[in-house]
Amino acid sequence: MPGRAAPAGRLMVQEQAVIAANRFGLGARPGELPRIARDPRAWLLEQLGAKPPPQLAELPGSGEILRELQIQQRDARMARDSGDAEAAKTAQRANRAAFRDHFVEHATARYEIAAVTDAPFRERLVLFWSNHFAVSADKPPLPALAGTLENEAIRPHVTGKFVDMLLAVEKHPAMLTYLDNQTSMGPNSVAAKLAARRGRNLGLNENLAREILELHTLGVDGGYKQQDVTTFAKVITGWSIGGGPGPRGGPPVPVGEFEFRPIMHEPGAKTLLGKTYQESGVAEGERVLRDLAAHPSTARFVARKLARHFAGDDPAPELVERLRASFAKTGGNLAALYRTLVESPEPWLPSAQKFKTPQDFVISTYRAFGQRPDKPQQMIAFLDQLGQRPYTPGSPAGFPDVDAQWNGGAALLKRIDWATAVGRFVGDRVNPTTLADDLLGPTLTDHTRTAIARAASGAQGLTLLLAAPEFQRR
């Protein structure tokens, strides 16, 4: 490798800098590798103490958004009731625009943060947990709300305790509405009995309970049965969101805030996973969540998922076991878990590669050029085309984190088409060979370097760089 005749130890640390920037982070920025190479592990661990990104301060929260939507929907209803079709249409249009605008503003902030952050490892972890606790923006009001779950329930706990993140997520209006819990009521609850007297059959919806067990905590083989799902669904009946008349004798709970509605809650003691929980209202569900967070199956499930994200589709069992033990020993201390990850040898192996997801590919491209997503609609459209529309995995399981999901031929061709557009946009403002060295360091193969150097134009050279196997994987 010409010009890179470094001693073996030096070469290794340079390779580790590339892995730190790309596998742990969100992609190298030009000029960044030498600084990371001073101590790749320290560079990662320092990020765990990073401050929240300033872009978040501008964004409306879930309460504000839900209040706005509620007013628009009320206006539309009132206009319809009074027979003013024109006004109803206007109110509906405003409602649709609000959905779109909140979706775009959240996506813009999310990818701008990813493009410019100095703490890309921390940001990758935010995206990881956001995908673990996935909601999908394809069901109202989630297009407007999905981004708020990440900012309000994930970010504050990303280096904290798993149990706190779990509690914040399951009480967040985005999760409660996405998995239909806000209207689920105990079959023997006051509300269900009242409804039955009026001839309406209202009751349990087990959606959230099932996905908490299967996707958020124990994992599908974590040792629960259908009976546990049903019982857990009863435990969390009444977990809803504010905006209704409020508790008897008390002030109404504001729209968008978590509200426990005792009249919807299934009364009585409940036995779940072999343990009996006495009737205790909202505390009952909180106790179950705490127990789930501390369950050995949860440690195993989280360990495997994290390992798969950082050490290839089939991570070494030793790594999974080390992460599991860390999670179990520290009671789900996430900072300690990440430290175990960074200090393990497996994620640093050159062979432990993953094919970038569309999101990884787009973010790392922005970082490569020091650009921000200044045309967010285009970026969203591209991610959509590649099957990874922001906040929209289409299911509560989140986007699959395995190569086979993303490396199909049609998808690859679209990446190349996009890389072509990016190359043309940047044109000859950037020297592609220099940039390739800057981003990929000693991991850039001679074969790729030669291909880039021989490109017919600067724009084509950049396209080749973005399409190269070294850039398509992390």
Footprint (CB under 8 A) of another protein, residues 221-240:
226, 229
**Contact of 23 with 310, CB cutoff 8 Å:** yes
Identify residues 96-155 at the interface with another protein (CB under 8 A).
138
Among 1, 283, 413, 453, binds another protein (CB under 8 A): 413
Q: Give the nearer residue to another protein in terms of CB position, either 28 or 134.
A: 134
What minimum distance in Å lies between the beta carbon of 107 and another protein? 18
Phi, psi at 124, each rounded to 5°:
-60, -40
Asked whether position 416 contacts another protein by CB under 8 A, the answer is yes
The verdict on 414 binding another protein (CB under 8 A) reads yes
Contacting another protein (CB under 8 A), which of 203, 256, 441, 458? Answer: 203
| Segment near another protein (CB under 8 A); pick from 6-14, 180-188, 242-250, 345-353 | 180-188
Q: Residues 272, 288: contact at Cβ < 8 Å?
A: yes
In Å, the largest CA–CA distance within the chain is: 83
Of 5-13, 31-39, 204-212, 361-369: span binding another protein (CB under 8 A): 204-212
* C-beta of 378 vs 434, nearer to another protein: 378
Q: Is 336 in the site for another protein (CB under 8 A)?
A: no
Task: Rule CB under 8 A: choose which of 196, 408, 428, 429 binds another protein.
Answer: 408
**254 belongs to the binding site for another protein (CB under 8 A):** no
Tokens standing for 44?
Answer: 């990662």
The C-alpha atoms of residue 273 and residue 270 are separated, in whole angstroms, by 10
Q: Toward another protein, which CB reaches closer, 119 or 241?
A: 241
Alpha helices in 171-274, H assignment, sequence order? 173-178, 190-197, 207-211, 226-235
CB nearer to another protein: pick between 326 and 460: 460
Q: What are the CA-CA distances from residue 228 to residues 189, 269, 353 (Å)? A: 19, 14, 38
The yes or no reply on residue 411 touching another protein (CB under 8 A) is yes
Q: Is 303 in the site for another protein (CB under 8 A)?
A: no
Q: Does 202 bind another protein (CB under 8 A)?
A: yes
Site string for another protein, 370-399 (x = CB under 8 A): -----------xx--xxx------xx-x--
Task: Please identify, using beta-carbon distances, which residue of 132 and 157 lies nearer to another protein.
Answer: 132
Rounded to the nearest 10°, the torsion over CA 143, 147, 148, 150 is: 140
Whichever of 41 and 414 has its CB closer to another protein, that residue is 414
**Cβ neighbours for 378, distance < 8 A, ≥ 6 positions apart:** none
| For helices 62-81 and 142-149, angle between their N-to-C axes, nearest 10 degrees | 170
Instruction: Kindly identify the residues of this chain, within the stretch 443-462, that bind another protein according to CB under 8 A.
Output: 445, 447-448, 451, 455-456, 460
Q: Identify which of 179, 176, 173, 143 has the alpha carbon closest to the alpha carbon of residue 384.
A: 143
Please state, in angstroms and rounded to a whole number, the distance separating the CA atoms of residues 46 and 41.
9
Q: How many residues bind another protein (CB under 8 A)?
A: 58
Residue in 12, 94, 204, 328 binding another protein, rule: CB under 8 A: 204
Is 1 an interacting residue with respect to another protein (CB under 8 A)? no
One residue of 379, 406, 438, 441 binding another protein per CB under 8 A? 406
Give which of 389, 396, 471, 397 is closest to 435, Cα–Cα: 471
Contact 277, 265 (CB under 8 A): no
Is residue 192 part of the contact set for another protein (CB under 8 A)? yes
Distance of CA 359 to the CA centre of its chain: 11
Tell me if 294 contacts another protein by CB under 8 A.
Answer: no
Burial 204-219 (b: 16+ CB within 10 A, else e): bbbbbbbbbbbbbbbb
Listed residue (92, 29, 88, 11) closest to 368, CA to CA: 29
3-state helix, strand, coil in the chain (%, to 5): 65, 5, 35
Closest contact distance (angstroms) between CB of 449 and another protein is 11
* Helix ranges (DSSP H) in 294-408: 296-310, 317-329, 334-343, 358-369, 376-385
Mark the segment that binds another protein (CB under 8 A) among 36-44, 52-60, 158-166, 201-209: 201-209
Provide the 10 A C-beta neighbour count for residue 292.
23
Closest to another protein by CB, 104 vs 416, is 416
Least distance from another protein to the Cβ atom of residue 435, Å:
16
Contact footprint for another protein (CB under 8 A): 138, 179-180, 183-185, 187, 192, 201-207, 210, 214, 220, 226, 229, 381-382, 385-387, 394-395, 397, 404-414, 416-421, 445, 447-448, 451, 455-456, 460, 463-464, 467-469, 472
